[in-house]
């Protein structure tokens, strides 16, 4: 049995569209060459994100029917709270409608103008929340190295230097994002989290976990560090929560459901302040912007997600997929994590300079060649306007992410993606870059209008 064989069978199916070449060309033009603006009915394989795109289990679908839609104190909330407390060890549990609501609520309680949040890498929505609070988001990831099993770690040397330097007193929180989505989906090690705990104690700053992919991180840690033998993946996940002071998560990932998020923590006073914000913007704190049935599906998803057969399949299928993409000629980042395969578009398209968005060029060509939708995580997402107002300060790397929704695509779908990739690689030298003709100030990737460079 291949290690990546799906540990489930399929009970409900959904047809996928096969738009023609002419339809794909027209869709790209109409979308202003921005993949986010292409309607899903014109996508064959959608690897834009693993967020909210998972297939629920039969147990989750049946949990929906037990949803208690009472406005206050629903049984669904009690079930959700019980599972989250058991998993995280945090007594205070606040559901919210999705991850960025959690980020905004807790980060705006902790940060003000001139403060600093430091992280292994803030995800784009996390960075947006930090900046909206008037604070600066500083990313200190370890340097990428294929031989490093824990490429998601934070760099201690740079962290210590920041904390003991002139601006050290401005640092008001430390965020470990597990796994490190913006930086290749690499896991964060337990050792890294332990040292972060120590450093946070020494400097009296709160240690926050962005636990959106806590189970996948725990599996990769389990797999890659011998010290975890004799323990379960769930115990490893719990150890991360124990080390931190508080967490938030987008439950659209490892909650294996289509919507949801949470804040969980020890500090009763901070929880009280966050709860007031939940009431203001999300709803009564026992539903936090969700339906009762969503909370039931999430409670069930949070139990299923640490199943080791499921996680092994998740990690091994990503590893296998990285192999077929590499055979197709794409420069893939290794080692692979679970939720996505990342490709270095900068290496595939060295003739396109960063300000002409090589990662966007690859994303768009994958769509044109086979209606495959991927995400750019390069200068369109992480670039910053330069001081001259016109040219961007490029992102550290020009990555394209092939996100793998949970329990949705089979190996033959992924083989199709590799065939499409092979066709794109064959004409890589002819691809051209893009320039931005319209953009918003915050998270411009969602709305920008682009034009091919002549």
Using CB under 6 A as the criterion, which residues of the chain lie in contact with ligand F0G when the complex forms? 49, 51, 98-100, 123, 125-126, 177, 181, 210, 212, 250, 252, 261
Spell out where 86-184 has E strands: 92-96, 116-119, 136-139, 171-177
Q: How far is the CB of 129 from ligand F0G (least distance, A)?
A: 9
Length of the chain: 454
Residues 6+ apart with CB under 8 A from 331: 343, 344, 347, 348
Q: How far is the CB of 175 from ligand F0G (least distance, A)?
A: 9
* Ramachandran angles phi, psi of 317, nearest 5°: -70, -35
Residue in 310, 377, 307, 301 with CA at minimum distance from that of residue 340? 377
Would you state the torsion angle of the CA atoms of residues 366, 372, 375, 376, taken in this order, to the nearest 10 degrees? 10
CB nearer ligand F0G, residue 250 or residue 286: 250
* Ramachandran angles phi, psi of 83, nearest 5°: -65, -40
CB nearer ligand F0G, residue 90 or residue 123: 123
Ramachandran bin of 450, using left for φ above 0, alpha for ψ from -120 to 50, beta for the remaining angles: beta
Q: How far is the CB of 329 from ligand F0G (least distance, A)?
A: 25
Q: How far is the CB of 383 from ligand F0G (least distance, A)?
A: 18
Q: Specify which residues 180 forms β-bridges with.
A: 186
What is the spatial distance between Cα 284 and Cα 290, in angstroms, rounded to a whole number?
10
> Quick one: tokens of 121?
């890498």
CB nearer ligand F0G, residue 253 or residue 368: 253
CB nearer ligand F0G, residue 45 or residue 163: 45
CB nearer ligand F0G, residue 250 or residue 300: 250
Q: How far is the CB of 353 from ligand F0G (least distance, A)?
A: 26
CB nearer ligand F0G, residue 98 or residue 236: 98
Is residue 17 a contact partner of residue 355, using CB atoms and an 8 Å limit?
no
Q: Which residue's entry shows tokens 């959690």? A: 102
Q: How far is the CB of 247 from ligand F0G (least distance, A)?
A: 11
CB nearer ligand F0G, residue 177 or residue 356: 177
Helix (H) or strand (E) segment spanning residue 255: none
Which residue has the CB atom at the shortest distance from ligand F0G? 99
Q: How far is the CB of 95 from ligand F0G (least distance, A)?
A: 12
Is residue 63 a contact partner of residue 257, using CB atoms and an 8 Å limit?
no
Is residue 234 a contact partner of residue 87, using CB atoms and an 8 Å limit?
yes
Q: Which residue's entry shows tokens 């990313």? A: 139
CB nearer ligand F0G, residue 55 or residue 163: 55
Q: CA-based Rg of the chain, rounded to a whole angstrom? A: 21
Q: How far is the CB of 124 from ligand F0G (least distance, A)?
A: 8
> Quick one: tokens of 210?
């962005």
CB nearer ligand F0G, residue 66 or residue 447: 447
Q: How far is the CB of 409 from ligand F0G (least distance, A)?
A: 16
What is the spatial distance between Cα 184 and Cα 180, in angstroms, rounded to a whole number?
7
Classify burial at 228, counting beta carbons within 10 Å of its beta carbon; exposed 0-12, middle 13-18, buried 19 or more. Answer: middle
């Amino acid at each position: 049995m291949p290690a990546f064989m799906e540990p489930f069978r399929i009970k409900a199916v959904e047809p996928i569209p096969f738009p023609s070449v002419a339809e794909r060309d027209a869709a790209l033009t109409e979308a202003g060459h921005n993949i986010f603006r292409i309607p899903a009915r014109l996508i064959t394989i959608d690897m834009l994100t693993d967020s909210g795109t998972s297939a629920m289990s039969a147990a989750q679908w049946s949990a929906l029917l037990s949803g208690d839609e009472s406005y206050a104190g629903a049984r669904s909330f009690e079930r959700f709270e019980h599972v989250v407390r058991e998993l995280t060890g945090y007594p205070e549990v606040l559901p919210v409608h999705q991850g960025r609501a959690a980020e905004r609520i807790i980060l705006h309680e902790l940060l003000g103008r001139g403060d600093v949040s430091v992280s292994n890498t803030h995800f784009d929505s996390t960075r947006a929340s930090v900046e909206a609070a008037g604070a600066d988001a500083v990313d200190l990831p370890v340097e990428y190295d294929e031989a490093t099993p824990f490429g998601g770690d934070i760099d201690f040397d740079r962290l210590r230097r920041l904390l003991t330097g002139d601006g050290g007193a401005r640092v008001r929180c430390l965020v470990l994002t597990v796994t490190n989505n913006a930086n290749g989906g690499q896991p964060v090690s337990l050792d890294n989290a332990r040292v972060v705990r120590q450093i946070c104690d020494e400097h009296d700053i709160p240690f926050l976990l962005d636990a959106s992919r806590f189970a996948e991180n725990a599996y990769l840690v389990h797999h890659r560090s011998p010290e975890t033998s004799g323990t379960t993946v769930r115990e490893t996940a719990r150890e991360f929560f124990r080390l931190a002071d508080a967490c938030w998560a987008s439950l659209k990932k490892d909650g294996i459901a289509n919507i949801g998020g949470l804040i969980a923590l020890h500090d009763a006073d901070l929880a009280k302040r966050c709860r007031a914000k939940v009431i203001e913007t999300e709803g009564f704190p026992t539903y936090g912007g969700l339906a009762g049935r969503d909370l039931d599906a999430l409670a069930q998803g949070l139990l299923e997600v640490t199943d080791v057969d499921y996680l092994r399949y998740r990690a091994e299928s990503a590893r296998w997929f990285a192999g077929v993409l590499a055979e197709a000629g794409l420069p893939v980042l290794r080692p692979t994590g679970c939720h996505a395969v990342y490709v270095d578009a900068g290496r595939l398209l060295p003739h396109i300079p960063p300000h002409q968005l090589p990662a966007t060029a690859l994303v768009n060509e994958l769509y044109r060649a086979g209606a495959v939708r991927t995400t750019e995580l390069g200068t369109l997402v992480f670039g910053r306007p330069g001081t001259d107002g016109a040219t961007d300060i490029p992102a550290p790397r020009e990555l394209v992410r092939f996100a793998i929704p949970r329990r949705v695509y089979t190996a033959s779908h992924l083989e199709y993606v590799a065939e499409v990739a092979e066709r794109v690689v064959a004409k890589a030298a002819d691809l051209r870059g893009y320039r931005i003709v319209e953009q918003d100030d915050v998270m411009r990737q969602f709305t920008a209008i682009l034009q091919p460079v002549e």
